[in-house]
Amino acid sequence: MTPTNYDESKVPAYTLPPLLIAEDGSKITTAFEWVQKRRPQILNTLKKELFGELPPRPETFTKEVVSVKEDALNNTAIRKEIKLTFTNNGKSHSFLMLLYIPKNVSGPVPVYLGLNFKGNHVTTLETDVIPTGRNTAGELVEPDAAGEQDRRWIFADTIKRGYASATACYHDIYPDDKEADSWRKSVYNLFFSEETDEQFHTHGTAISGWAWGLSRMLDALENEPLVDTKKAMVHGHSRLGKTSLWAGANDPRFRFVVSNDSGCNGAAIHRRVFGETIEVMVHYFPHWFVTSLNKYVCKEPELPFDQHWLVALSAPRPVCIASASEDLWADPKGEFLSGYHASEVYRLFGAQGMPTDTMPEADQYVTGEVSYHLRTGKHDQVLFDWIHYFDIADKFIR
Ligand code: GCU
């Protein structure tokens, strides 16, 4: 494996693949041309070369409210657990979504949706939440970690700010296991079970499976009287930040897209070759990407895309890119730059995008249609990050 570069002076000179020149060489000068012509090209390239195709819609989709707690979080919230079941080709797949909705609000409220790493029970200090998150053998991955990642979810603060919040465990949609056949325990198995593992990984990936799951969670919220699904916001940390960007790219119902420390193949610009690289990623996490990505190992200048394309797919909807100062693996500067470069698409819509061309000091919130902050500290998603997400939602979504 090539040694990791953490030295800014060793970042090579590079030219980014253009956002606003179409494949036929013509210039994109209007929002209309972007939407009609260029955006589909970019989405298609990222499907072919990076994340593959989301699963299709299933023949049937049902939801069942498994529990309701009317006095959750010290009587400030209503808590629900909702089971989503999909059937196709005579097979079915289910997962459990946890939902908190503020009480005593006058009408439906905007909702944050995000996947969790270790199970619904790990996201909350409430001890009566059903444990979820199973590996390919069907065992709970974290049976004893209840409440351990409450800091990443801070449901009580979200409720105080007047937002609903929904989560499900990503393993229950596609178990995060690099074995080539782990997709057979995922939602994709409903649709492609006849394929070989090799065929599957030319078009199906865990990240697309997870992004699909986020869209289905949003479907399941459609009839919740206190949730405004026209004001849905998707967030994700790290691999799940790569996923939230991809979910935002594929599902325009996500009106605000949050990338928290998403790094390589998330918001970070590949051509900087700083921190994690494609070489590392396809070795340790081959199931997150289509096999086509292997062609670009140690060949960043040959990539037909770079990650500002991924960010631009959400334009003109607000995006927030968050980094952490000690998270050099995720390349904070590269994350900032993708937001900065994606802003030219926002300008086609008469928006500004990122309101600065200079990376801000640590702990400063830069807020625009493309927002950014660099939190002092480690790779994580904590209250400081959330406050920015709440402020942006107050400004652009509410
Ligand atoms: C690894 C991986 C990152 C990823 C992170 C995470 O560190 O290299 O790309 O973002 O896991 O998801 O926590």
For residues 356-365, average pLDDT: 98
| Cα–Cα distance for residue pair 93/86, rounded to 1 Å | 5
pLDDT over 90 at 62, yes or no: yes
Structural domain includes residue 11:
no
Task: Report how far ligand 1's centroid is from the alpha carbon of 220 (Å).
Answer: 28
Q: How far is CA 40 from the centre of its chain?
A: 20
What band does 34 get if pLDDT is binned at 50, 70 and 90?
A: very high
Extract the runs of DSSP E, i.e. beta strands, from 48-118.
60-71, 77-88, 91-102, 109-116
Q: Give the tokens for residue 332.
A: 């904070």
Is-contact 79 69, C-beta < 8 A?
A: yes
Is 287 noted as a catalytic residue in this protein?
no
H helical segments located in the chain: 31-33, 39-46, 72-75, 150-153, 155-160, 189-192, 197-200, 206-221, 239-250, 278-284, 307-312, 332-348, 383-392
Cβ of 239 below 6 Å from ligand 1: yes
Cβ of 276 below 6 Å from ligand 1: yes
Read off the pLDDT of residues 248-266 as tens digits, 9 standing for 90 and up: 999 999 999 999 999 999 9
Q: What are the distances in angstroms from CA 284 to CA 173, 176, 191, 287, 351?
A: 20, 11, 26, 9, 39
- CATH of residue 44's domain is 3.40.50.1820
Total count of domains within the chain: 1
Structural domain includes residue 47:
yes
Please give the single-letter amino acid code of residue 184. R
Task: Report how far ligand 1's centroid is from the alpha carbon of 275 (Å).
Answer: 11
Omega of the bond prior to 316 within 30 degrees of 0, cis? Answer: yes
Beta strands 91-102 and 164-169 are: antiparallel
Is-contact 370 318, C-beta < 8 A?
A: yes
Nearest-atom index, ligand 1, CA of 239: 12
Q: Report the candidate in 232, 227, 231 with the shortest Cα–Cα distance to residue 214.
A: 232
Q: Give the tokens for residue 214.
A: 């986020």
Mean pLDDT of the chain: 98
Q: Dihedral, CA atoms, 81, 103, 228, 155, nearest 10 degrees?
A: -60
Task: Report how far ligand 1's centroid is from the alpha carbon of 62 (Å).
Answer: 33
pLDDT over 90 at 181, yes or no: yes
- Please report the pLDDT score of residue 104 as a whole number: 87
Q: Give the tokens for residue 51.
A: 């994340």
Please give the single-letter amino acid code of residue 380. D
Structural domain includes residue 16:
no
Q: 3-state DSSP helix/strand/coil percent for the chain, to nearest 5?
A: 35, 20, 40
Structural domain includes residue 365:
yes
Identify the three-state secondary structure at position 101: strand
Q: Which of 67, 94, 292, 379 is catalytic?
A: 379
Extract the runs of DSSP E, i.e. beta strands, from 103-201.
109-116, 164-169
Beta strands 77-88 and 109-116 are: unpaired
- Please report the pLDDT score of residue 48 as a whole number: 98
Ligand 1 probe mutation, 50, 238, 278, most atoms within 8 A of CB:
238
- Residue 25: which residues within 8 A CB-CB, separation 6 or more? none
Q: Which of 238, 262, 314, 323 is catalytic?
A: 238
- Please report the pLDDT score of residue 46 as a whole number: 99
Task: Report how far ligand 1's centroid is from the alpha carbon of 105 (Å).
Answer: 37
Nearest-atom index, ligand 1, CA of 240: 12
Longest CA–CA span in the chain (Å) reads 59
Read off the pLDDT of residues 63-122 as tens digits, 9 standing for 90 and up: 999 999 999 999 999 999 999 999 999 999 999 999 999 998 989 999 999 999 999 999
Structural domain includes residue 17:
no
| Cα–Cα distance for residue pair 341/156, rounded to 1 Å | 35
Structural domain includes residue 251:
yes
Domain membership of residue 200 as a residue range: 23-396
Is 171 noted as a catalytic residue in this protein?
no
Structural domain includes residue 343:
yes
Please give the single-letter amino acid code of residue 82. I
Structural domain includes residue 2:
no
